[in-house]
Every structure is written in structure tokens, then in C-alpha cells.
A and B are shown apart, each in its own frame.
Chain A
């Protein structure tokens, strides 16, 4: 069984650190000078002044430790974040001490690799009281965001030292690609390609889809009065949706390292397309490199696809990866049909300024984001 330090030692040696402030440095220089003067002269009143300064340092350490002790910290963070979109993260801190307040607390989330997030301050936290604090975070990288804990620091009581305490609290959230409006030209291309692919389903439209008995909550304007009169039962008329479209979004991941930025733009474009198509009722399948999702629609499916895009990785182009990454040639190859939208960050030897979009194999020029 590995040796474990007692809790207090663990707390002191692992999760505590102290840094000196500029005022503290000046204070220490003065203390050192007075110490030298005391030794040099043997003057006990110099020793008294030195003792005063040392006692203030000692009191600093003790008071700061009490300030950081027995605090309970909780973090509330959304499940999904979007690149470059501000999000509010809430930290709840409670002083679990029975008598002593905590003063001048500064809290900040600590991410992977000791990256530090914006700091929030509490002037005073009385005993038994909790406070909610929030800060705005703008994710700058797609993928998993790892928050390892919350760091509390205080300069209380004299501002000579900054004492820090680390409260481990692991949280991993997914940062989805940035969502931006899709260009009009691309939307037109999608509309043109998907017009012939309607399938029968219930929805808003004019054609009759079905008749059924009335249920609580149904719109009274949909009552089919003729049938109701004939059967003496309230009957509802269901209509057929105007259109039902399927789309496959294919994102090529075989991109050389030199096109990393372009790949990120392509991912962002694919995510924007997913969001747009999902909102418009498309049944979407996402193919990212060799991975592929099932067809689906709705918010949950859309979020699943966004999560897939958030975690996808660029790979250096090889013959095998290129073969796996080859996009299907037209909706005829797809079982059940559908529009194939291919998003490419790299088009071979040629250099492109923006990701290329091909709808059913046809290049849509200038199809990226709305300006």
C-alpha cells in the first residue's frame, strides 16, 4: 500500500503555495536591513522592531491559511461550448467555517497544463454563507476543454504574500466548432439539389396525410368536421409535410499540416451546415473521415453531430486515408437517397483560400460563410 500523507500535510504541501507581492518584497528588504542593524549594534530595540516585522509575516501566513480553509467550491458549466462564443461559467463558493470569515478571495478555474481562466473576486465571505460568481469564457480551441480545479488565492491580511489553495475539481466539456451563417449561394445549391427528394411524413402542408381521433392539446382548427359529423367523434385532419430531405455532410480529414487553419474553417463550415440543415428539418448523416453517423434529425441528433465535429482530428494525407476519405459521388450511391455535401479543406496541390463545398459532386463557387 503506497504511503499517504496525512490530510493536513497533503493539503499544506500539495495544494498550497505562497508567492510574495511587491509590497511584501519591500517589507522583507526592510526586515532584513533591520535584522542586520540589530546584529551589528546589539540594540535590543532593533530586535524588537525586527520581531514585530517577523510576527507580521507569521500572522500573515496563519491568517491566510485560515482564510483559505474549509471552503467548498462548486462549478456549473454548460455541457456544450462553441468556439469563440462567450459562455458564462458559474462558481459557487461556500465558507464552511463556523466562526471565521474569509476575506479578499480570488477564484479562478485552472485548466489543463495550469492554464488559468479569468479571475473573480470576493471581498468578504462570512461564515456559513455561499456566494455565486460568474465569469465569461470564450473558448479559443475546438475539442475537449479540461478544467482540473479551482484555484483560490488571497492576499489577506496584509498584502505581503499571495497564498494559493488548489481545489481539485475535474470537468471535461466539449467545445464545438464555431457556428457562422451559411452563404446564400450555398443555401440555394442545397435547395435546388434537395427539391426532388421529398418523402412522406406528417407535418405542415396542404395534402391530407391521415385522419385520427382528437386528443387534448390538438389545434381545433384541424378538426375534420365532415368525418366528425359522420362518426360523431371529434376527428383531426393531419396534413403531409411539404418536403422531407436527407443530406449527407462529408468532411474530409486528410489535410496536410500546412492547411491546419483551413481544416478548422472546414470543420466550422460543416458544423454551420449541420446546424442549418437540422433546423430546417433535414435528416442528416455526418461523415468525418472514416467515421459516419446515422441519419437523424432533431436537436439531439444535431448536438451529437456537433460533438462529432468538435472532436474530429486532422490527419496527414496518405493513400489509405485518401481512399477512406473519398466522398460518395452523388445521392444515387446513398441508400434512401439524399444530398451529398462535401466540405474540403484541401484540394490537392492547389492552394485554396476558403474551404471548398461540393453539392452532389458539383463545386459551389464562393460557398462558405455569409459576408
Chain B
């Protein structure tokens, strides 16, 4: 393929990559996306030499003034779009950008037109990057990078044609004409070189991306797109509100358990907020006043000194790394109960019920690490009778919406014969899980008494109904309890070893206060019969894709200055470790050596000196390595020179000897003492026909032998030709 045609092709690819990126990111209007796509295809077909398309395009000649007028029309259209159609600058600007791309695609005549197209495509990629953080951006970017390297390379290689004065116009007709010449085509060498450069550029891009300092000094920092709408995490929640999101598969967070073996990855409760007051239809959080966390160290917030608020000191600690999508709630989710939070937060707040809040809902993904510790059941709560509840617990967590005889009777029946609060709670939980059926088709919100409807009529519902029923029944029998909303993480990603938490995992459960154990989580909701499942293919590739998406977010989208510092610290620690190991090795080696030498120094002194010696040797070795590196190029060059000289010198010396032997046979140069140039002079006077060949071979021989200048392959071939010619000559007899 001729270079100019290849340039045209790669330019189209470059424009296509940016167009696809912009279309996916910005959601261009259909008509504009179709128009731009059709233009790209048409121009591409024209480039491939499709005569019909070529004929159509040549039938509509537009002068440069005409194109300028079209651009002007597009600009007017931009203003109309800005003022009346889109009403916003960004969409109108993007639409204008695509119009410019279409115009430029039809008007690719001069090199500067190509430059304009590249500039437009770069702006389109920039716009795409500003409008999305999705994973698809990466392959688009990779294609753009490869196409960009190819395009710039071909643009440079075809520059000579323009410089030589030819009208540089890679229109198809001209391209075909050029192709007949057979020159300047994509050779395998250019092909591999371009791909090699693209690969190198990709590696450098990744390296620079991770090392370039992140300076968050901007004034236009903002998130991307709209936050995910959640429900159930405000201070006031209608019964049944969670049901509306139970069909939404949107990922809201990913939770990685740090230091927890894979076997322990069982369903994980992720706590959001709790509610203490129920009025029969609506749950409210009366303890919603918030206090700020104590920042123990930069970025680390803890509950230090607030044991009274959240008692969580008996269970095992769970460390979680959570990547939270932008949600419309400021609640910070984690396994119960949060002890310490680490993340890039300006400040954090908590309420008396243990919920943790951001200052405001985050508009972008946030990543944080949490240490949680759940309570374990104290043996005292199993053996003894009813214990003592703190006043603040009694005050807030025994509230009932009103007397319901049926519920009272049911609760009494269920707890009859149970002596401890834990046994009573467990009895209620067992009753609910075994006698009721899970269903999202439970329109109980419209009922006057939805709880009674659930317990005694329908006997089907979802988590909120079960949790509410259990809390009310527990309170009825005098056990403090509260309703908790959050997520129940069950989707474990084997490839990335983390939980994927979706909107449909939103859940409500119960926290029961036991006199000796504190708050204990209990879940009365029975297992769901048919949790949503995709196709088999998706079941295989879904986790892989999600893991890639997570890594993309972690490594590229969320990469920050803090990550860079962490990498530096880790490298420093690794360096120290390697240095110590090397030092130990050198010390051991020299220690053995010194021991063999007879223990010249005492043990204590040798320890110190050997350490010092090890460092010195290390420095010397490093110095040698640097010197070797600096001199390597020269050494290699010298070796190569020697090698080359040796080859060419050997060849020309053999040719010269053959020449002398032949001349000697013809009566010349019988004496070995005759110098090369003397021999040339002798042949010039004595055998004119042979003179040219003798002079040529001798000149090359002298140049290599005495001038130490290597011969090229052409030189050696020339000498061989001359010798052949000489051997065909016969000296005339006088």
C-alpha cells in the first residue's frame, strides 16, 4: 500500500476512534452520529478506491470559498444550538465539533487539512475523557494511540513529497496513479517499526501516567455524570421504599476484605443507617444529630473515646477496602460496627446510632478503608434471665406505633417459655424465616396497617417488612431493637476477590440490644427463591469484566497523589530491604573471607568494618556498573568496527594477493619488495589495459590496509569485478 494511501487510512481510523469515544461518552444526537459515521465510511470507501463513491464525491466540486461558507454556516448553527436547541455550551460545542469533522473529512486536500482533522480528533478525545470514566475509554484510547503513532509517522514520511514541489493530494485518483509507480510503499520494515513505536509509546504513556505528579490545584474539579439514586438511607423512610430498587442491577460499591481468607467470604452485611421510631408506616431516625469524628492521623478517623456510643470491642476485626460509586446519600457504608475509617476525606461525621456520614454526597467514586468489629454473643446473655438495659436504650428503642392486640398476642405466643432476650429474639426470627415467603410483589404501602396485613393476611413481603415486624414484636415483649438499612453483599468476584454490591442488594435487618452483648444483628428475612441471574456467558465473563472495570477505576480513574506517595513509600521500603539483604550477603561473604584469613580483627570490630566494607564494595560495584554502562556503547561500537574491518580487510587482502599472483604470472611484480603504488605505475606504463583494474583494487587495498577505513559491501563487490576483469585480460606479446 502506498504511504499516502496508508496515511489517509490511518487518519480515518484516528477520526473514527475519537468519534466513537465522543459518541459513547456524550451521547450525540442520533442524526449527528449517523451523519458522521456515514461520512467516515464514505471517505474510507473512497480511499479504498470504490469508484461509485469516488464518482459521487467528484460530482460535487466545492471550492475553498464554498467550504469556508459551509464552516461559517456550521458556526451559525452552533449559536442556534447553544441558544435555542441544546441551551448549553458543552453539547452545542460538541455538536459543532462533529460538524467540523464532517466538513474536514470531505475536504481533505492539503496537509494542513489533515492537521486540522488531527486537532479535531484530539479535542474529541479530550471531550470524551471529560464526559466519562467508563472502561470502554481504555480500548478506544489504545486504538487512538496506535492510529496516532501510525498517522504521525506516515505524515512525516510523506512530507518529502510535498517538499519536492509535488502537489500533495492523496485524493483517490492520485493515489492510484502513485501506486503505479511502485515507490514509497509500506514495507515490512516500516510496518514493524510503526508497531514497535506504538508499543513503545504505549509503555511510555503508562509509565508517564503513573509518575506524572498529580497536582489537584484546579478550580474546575467536578464529578462525572449523575449520582446513583438510592433509597432507604435518609432520616425518614417509608415502609416498602427499598422494594423500588430491588430490580436495579447497578453496582453501588465493591468491597474487598483485607487479610481475610477466601473461605471467609460469606454474605456480608454492609450497614448504612438505623431507625429508632416507627409510626405505623414510616421509619424515622430520631438520633440523627451528627458529631464529627476525631482525626487520629491525616486521613484516619476513629471512634476513640466514644465507646459509649458504639460498643464494638468483643468481636473480630474486619478490614475492608470499599470503592463506593457516587450515590445521592452522604452515608458511608461498611460492615457493622465501624471502628476506624481511612480515606481522603476532609471530615467525617457520625450519629449516636453508629451511622457514618460524609459532609455531603460525593459526586465521584471514593475509596476508603474501614476497620469494623461486630459484637459476639456474651455467654451471660444465654444463661441468665432478663438483664438491665441502659436508659438511653430504653428511651429510644422500645417505642411502638400503637397497640396492636394481634401483634402483641403473636409476640407473646412466640416468646412464651423463652427466658432470655436472645432466646426470644431467636424465636421471633425463626418464626418469620420459616413461616413467611419472600416476594417483591407486596404492595403493602397502600394499606392502613401494612404490618398487620403482612403478618396476618399476605404473609409475603421483602426485607423491610420482615425487619419491621421483628423490631415491633421485639419491642412488644420489651427487648430494645432497631431497624437497619444497608446492603447484603452476596456476589463474590473470584477473579478480583471482592464483593460486588448492587442496588438490588439493598437490605433491611434488625439490631437487637442484648444486656451483656450490646447490639447484635439478626436477619429475619428468608432466602430469596429466584435472585436475578443472567445468561451463562455473562455468568462466566461478568466477574472478569467487573474485575477489569475495578482495576481500571483503581489504577486509572482513581489514581491520585496519595497513591503515588504510597508507591514511593513502598519502593523505599523495598529498596531498604534489598539494601539490607545485599549488605548481609556481602557481610557474610567477607566475614567468611576474613575468618579464613585468620581472624585479623576482633569479632566486634570486624562487624563494624565488614559493614562499612560492604557499603564501600557496593558503591564501587555500582560505580563500575555505571562506567560499564557509559562505555558499553563505545565498546560495542569498537567491537563492531573491529569486526567489520576484519571482514572487509580480509576480503580485499585476498583479492589483492590474487591480483599480484596473476600479475606476477604475466611478468609483473615478480619481486615482493615492489610497493603497491609502484605496481600501479608499472602496469600503467607496461600494460595500459590492466591499469584501471589494478589501480582500483590497489586503492581499496591501501585504504583498508593502511588507512584503516572499512570497506562497504559495494566496495568489495567492485574490487571483485575489477579482479574478474583483470583475469580475463592477457598481456600482449611485444
Contacts and interface: CB of A to CB of B under 8 A. Distances in A.
Nearest to B152: A158
B419 to A, nearest CB: 59
A158 B710 CA distance: 33
A75 B200 CA distance: 36
Interface string B484-504: 000000000000000000000
Given A30-B122, A52-B201, A63-B197, A45 B133 contact: yes
Given A59-B197, A155-B159, A43 B119 contact: no
B126 A157 contact: no
A158 B154 CA distance: 8
Interface in A214-254: 216
Interface residues of A, number: 51
B713 interface: yes
B540 interface: no
Contacts, number: 146
B174 interface: no
B635 to A, nearest CB: 11
Contacts of B559: 44
A96 B132 CA distance: 49
B729 interface: no
Contacts of A39: 215-218
Interface string B119-144: 10010011001101100010001000
A37 B126 contact: yes
Contacts of A30: 119, 122
Interface stretch (A122-130, A282-290, A331-339): A122-130
Given A41-B221, A42-B214, A47-B212, A104 B156 contact: yes
A126 B184 CA distance: 14
A355 B157 CA distance: 54
B214 A8 contact: no
A156 interface: yes
Interface in A36-63: 37, 39-52, 54-56, 58-59, 62-63
B250 interface: no
Contacts of B201: 52, 55-56, 59
B366 to A, nearest CB: 13
Interface string A176-204: 00000000000000000000000000000
Nearest to A97: B640
Q: Is the interface of B mostly helix, strand, loop or mixed?
A: helix
B33 interface: no
Interface stretch (B61-69, B203-211, B282-290): B203-211
Contacts of B537: none
Interface string A61-91: 0110000001010000000000000000000
B557 interface: yes
A45 B222 contact: no
Contact of A26 (B119, B216, B640): B119
The 5 A-B residue pairs with the shortest CB-CB distance, nearest first, are: A55-B204, A45-B129, A40-B218, A159-B156, A51-B209
9 contacts: A8-B634, A23-B155, A34-B126, A55-B205, A58-B204, A59-B200, A123-B160, A156-B156, A160-B152
Interface of B: 115, 119, 122, 125-126, 129-130, 132-133, 137, 141, 145, 148-149, 152-153, 155-157, 159-160, 184, 189, 193, 197, 200-209, 212, 214-222, 556-559, 630-631, 633-634, 637, 640-641, 644, 710, 712-714, 734
Interface of A: 6-8, 23, 26, 30, 34, 37, 39-52, 54-56, 58-59, 62-63, 70, 72, 94, 96, 98, 101, 103-104, 121, 123-124, 126, 128-130, 155-160, 216
